[in-house]
Amino acid sequence: MNILAHPADPADPVETVSPTAVPSAAATRIKAVELQQASVVFGTGDRAVTALSPTKLTLEQGDFVALVGPSGCGKSTILRLVTSLITPSSGAVLVGGRDAAIRHLRMGMAFQNPTMLPWLTIEQNVMMPLKIVKPFKNTFRQDRKGAFRDRVHTLLGQVGLKDFAGHFPWQLSGGMLQRANLCRALVHDPDLLLLDEPFGALDQFTREELWQILQDLYLDRKPTVLLVTHDLREAGFLAKRICVMSARPGRIISDEVVPLPQPRAIETIYSPEFVEMTQTLRALIAQVRT
């Protein structure tokens, strides 16, 4: 039995309407993220590298999409497009129905490597978005020592870093930095959360623990989430939809709904259906790697 709800045709890869939404309503609702045949080419002439083939991808508001694929296929490139760190070479990228460059949705991003500012403590690092993003920045001076501090400490407590708030990044292990990284992405209650392999450097137990924390945070606040990962179980446990990309220059070759209700218990990942689902995905990726 194929547990994936919509076996997609690889030739016509992206069916973007969330199946839970009524089609007519979905058409009028503003999409959180829309890549409209967006492609990215680095360099020019002989040196040109196509990092992303024209790609179509839509995220509804409150969607949780996992993006999986072989390394170098353009997953990080998609996140950089959505955050407008790069502009598409062709096509368009819309966030909240408007050009991504406007950045009018509140975004939180956790990069692949935890880019903590080395001269700030963990607390100050995690607090940084509150200093930059409206409306928090307006009251930053007053709330820095009060409400904002409590907010940061609560988050740090949730990921088990309560005692490390005053430490500097170099005093923390890679795994701890990744947790702080996640806190920084979430602290300003973003509408759109972009996560680039955020749990890559963690051991299995910590990882499963953080999956559950992330799931709780997601169900609690319902931001739109785009998660890049190479861990199929992670994708299956957390996401509502899983998009598979082909090898570079990447494009989305499969876009499937995970037919398990949320919240999911961690034991789910050892159930036969779940294992079968990840096996199917694994086979698909193994096929497109070459």
* Residues near Mg ion (CB under 5 A): 76
Site string for ligand ADP, 26-55 (x = CB under 6 A): ----------------x------x-x----
Site string for another protein, 248-267 (x = CB under 8 A): --------------------
Q: Interface with another protein includes 119 (CB under 8 A)?
A: yes
| Residue carrying structure tokens 């990447």 | 250
- In the list ligand ADP, another protein, Mg ion, none, the entry touching 136 (Cβ below 5 to 8 angstroms by class) is none
Cα–Cα distance measured from residue 207 to residue 182, given in angstroms and rounded to the nearest whole number: 12
Sign of the dihedral through C-alpha 202, 169, 165, 146 = negative
H/E stretch holding 127 reads helix 122-132
DSSP-derived letter for residue 162 is: G
CB of 104 to another protein, least distance (A): 9
- In the list ligand ADP, Mg ion, another protein, none, the entry touching 115 (Cβ below 5 to 8 angstroms by class) is another protein
Supply the Cα-derived Rg of the chain in whole angstroms.
19
Q: Phi/psi of residue 272, each to 5°?
A: -60, -40
Q: Enumerate residues 6+ apart whose C-beta is below 8 A from 279.
A: none
- Please, which residue, 43 or 72, has the CB nearer to Mg ion? 72
Query: Shortest CA distance to 183 belongs to which of 217, 207, 212?
Result: 217
Q: Between 147-158 and 174-186, two packed helices, what is the crossing angle to 10 degrees?
A: 130
Number of Cα atoms under 13 Å in the Cβ half of residue 49: 8
Q: Interface with another protein includes 83 (CB under 8 A)?
A: yes
Single residue of 5, 21, 48, 85 touching another protein by CB under 8 A: 85
Is residue 186 classed as helix, strand or coil in its secondary structure?
helix
**Residue range at the interface with ligand ADP (CB under 6 A); choices 71-79, 113-121, 185-193, 198-206:** 71-79
CB of 253 to ligand ADP, least distance (A): 14
CA dihedral (136, 139, 143, 147) in degrees, to 10, reads: -40
Q: Restricting to residues 43-82, which ones interact with another protein according to CB under 8 A?
A: none
CB of 90 to Mg ion, least distance (A): 21
- Please, which residue, 86 or 275, has the CB nearer to Mg ion? 86
Site string for another protein, 219-238 (x = CB under 8 A): --------------------
Q: Enumerate residues 6+ apart whose C-beta is below 8 A from 290.
A: 247
Residue ranges binding ligand ADP (CB under 6 A): 42, 49, 51, 71-77, 248
Residue ranges binding another protein (CB under 8 A): 83-85, 103, 107-109, 111, 113, 115, 117-119, 128-129, 131-133, 168, 170, 184, 188, 194
